[in-house]
């Protein structure tokens, strides 16, 4: 894939007719530069669409404060809250602050977050999810800030981001194989909305359906229930649970996220169904609450620790060497955590 030549500090210096060290002083605040020269340098940088790397977000006791940006879609979701906690700790080990931006699963806020990161002076940006709009990736590429994408293989016409994702096809298959071993034959699928940024959800569904069909138990289209929340919600799961109650033949449910599974479980239990005796339920993510709800939730676990560690390794490599030098896409495997929602104590 063709990659546009990155504009360097040297290019800005040549356009402004100053030395490279002068450009560095202007952007890093490491020396006093006249207003006239500062304006000349900034004008040249704007003409060339130059975005300085490693620009400190501020200074404390004369020392530069460096930061990375972290963009998440829903901080109330325990999966992303835990991801933020682990990522912030890793950044702190490298003496970096973390600037968090929560998009609330809204495209407008997503673009706003990227724009704010671009002017804040962050050294790099870690995306904790697949952006909801291709235009958002183009806007991010235009900033030239080193960035790492998650949950997708992210690229634009002229830019390719280093990225990391979970093997969601395998995750869906693990769920299906577990249910088949338990003798469940008429499974339903519940999922968050399948919008432009829902590659992970689609792959989970695809992996599950492919495996069920291979075993001779294909999932009927009418047994696929989609809620309206982009990343799953208990309210949406409860609404889906009401629909599942109408069809008494469904003996298993695969939810593409744990929060939807929680909502389904609550609605079914409220109507007297026994889990897992009457209907087995599997979630996806393994958020903290999964082991504490009643019954505890069997779920496909995403390795949050490895995701954050690998994402940060890629990001700091991109900060050091530039996105042009780091175009790696890493895929990690999930694992199935079996709990009471599929296996009773007697089993």
Query: If you average pLDDT over residues 85-106, what whole number do you get?
Result: 94
Specify whether 199 is located in the same domain as 276: yes
Could you tell me if 61 and 182 lie in one domain? Answer: no
Interatomic CA distance for residues 86 and 316, integer angstroms: 16
Q: Please give the order of strands across the beta sheet that includes 124-127.
A: 97-102, 67-72, 124-127, 147-150, 163-166, 329-332
Q: How far apart are CA 297 and CA 147, in angstroms?
A: 34
Look at residues 95, 94, 96, 99 and name the one whose alpha carbon lies nearest to residue 114: 99
Residue 64 belongs to a domain: yes
Both 222 and 318 in one domain: the answer is: no
User: Is there a domain that residue 94 lies in?
Assistant: yes
Domain check: are 65 and 182 in the same one? no
For residue 156, pLDDT beyond 60: no
Tokens for 113, please give them: 């977050």
How many residues does the structure list for the chain? 347
Do 180 and 157 fall into the same domain?
Answer: no
Q: Which domain holds residue 9?
A: 1-50
Are residues 133 and 175 part of one domain? no
Residue 279 lies in a domain: yes
Query: For the domain that residue 144 is a member of, what is the CATH number?
Result: 3.40.50.2300
Q: Are residues 276 and 180 in the same domain?
A: yes
Domain assignment present for 344: no
Q: What is the pLDDT of residues 261-282, one digit of tens each?
A: 999 999 999 999 999 999 999 9
Number of domains, the chain: 3
Q: Is the domain of 289 the same as that of 262?
A: yes
179 and 278 part of one domain: yes
- Fill in the DSSP letter of residue 217: -
pLDDT digits (tens, 9 = 90+) for 237-248: 899 999 888 888
Same domain, 149 and 188: no
- pLDDT number for residue 320: 81
Quick one: tokens of 137? Answer: 């990736």
Distance between CA atoms of 188 and 247, rounded to whole angstroms? 10
Residues 177 and 199 in one domain: yes
Whether 1 is in a domain gets the answer yes
Mean of the per-residue pLDDT values of the chain: 87
Q: What is the CATH number of the domain that holds 34?
A: 1.10.260.40
Phi first, then psi: give them for residue 153, nearest 5 degrees: -95, 100
State pLDDT tens for residues 106-138: 888 999 899 888 878 899 999 999 888 888 888
Question: Which alpha helices (DSSP H) does the chain contain, by range?
Answer: 9-16, 20-28, 35-47, 78-93, 107-120, 134-143, 168-181, 199-214, 234-246, 258-270, 304-321
SS3 label, residue 305 = helix
Question: Which tens digits make up the pLDDT trace of 295-321?
Answer: 999 999 999 999 999 999 999 998 887
133 and 182 assigned to the same domain: no
- The whole-angstrom separation of Cα 307 and Cα 200 is 14
Q: Is residue 77 part of a domain?
A: yes
Answer yes or no: is 253 within a domain: yes
Q: Is 101 part of a structural domain of the chain?
A: yes
Which of 34, 50, 66 is the last residue in one of the domains? 50
Helix (H) or strand (E) holding 226: strand 224-226
pTM: 0.81
């Amino acid at each position: 894939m063709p990659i546009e030549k990155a504009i360097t500090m040297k290019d800005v210096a040549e356009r402004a007719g100053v030395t490279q060290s002068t450009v560095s002083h202007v952007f890093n605040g490491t020396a006093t530069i006249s207003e006239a020269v500062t304006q000349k340098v900034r004008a040249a940088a704007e003409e060339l669409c130059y975005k300085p790397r490693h620009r400190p977000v501020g200074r404390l006791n004369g020392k530069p404060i460096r930061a990375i940006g972290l963009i998440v879609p829903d901080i109330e979701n325990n999966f992303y809250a835990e991801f933020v906690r682990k990522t912030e700790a890793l950044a702190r080990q490298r003496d970096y602050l973390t600037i968090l931006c929560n998009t609330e699963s809204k495209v407008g806020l997503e673009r706003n977050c990227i724009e704010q990161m671009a002017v804040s002076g962050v050294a790099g940006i870690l995306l904790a999810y697949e952006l909801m709009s291709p235009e958002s990736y183009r806007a991010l590429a235009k900033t030239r800030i080193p960035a790492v994408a998650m949950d997708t293989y992210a690229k634009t016409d002229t830019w390719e981001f280093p990225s990391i994702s979970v093997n969601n096809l395998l995750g869906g298959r693990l769920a299906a194989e577990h249910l088949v071993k338990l003798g469940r034959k008429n499974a339903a699928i519940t999922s968050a909305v399948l919008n432009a940024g829902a590659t992970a959800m689609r792959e989970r569904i695809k992996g599950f359906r492919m495996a069920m069909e291979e075993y001779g138990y294909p999932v009927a289209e009418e047994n696929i229930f989609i809620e309206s929340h982009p990343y799953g919600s208990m309210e949406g799961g409860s609404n889906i649970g009401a629909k599942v109650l109408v069809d008494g033949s469904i003996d298993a449910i695969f939810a593409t996220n744990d929060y939807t599974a929680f909502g389904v479980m609550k609605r079914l239990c409220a109507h007297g169904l026994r889990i897992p005796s009457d209907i087995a339920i599997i979630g996806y993510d393994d958020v903290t609450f999964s082991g504490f709800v009643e019954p505890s939730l069997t779920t496909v676990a995403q390795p949050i620790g490895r995701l954050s560690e690998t994402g940060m390794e890629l990001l700091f490599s991109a900060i050091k060497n530039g996105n042009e030098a780091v175009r790696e896409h890493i895929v990690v495997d999930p694992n199935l955590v079996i709990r009471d929602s599929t296996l009773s104590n007697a089993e």
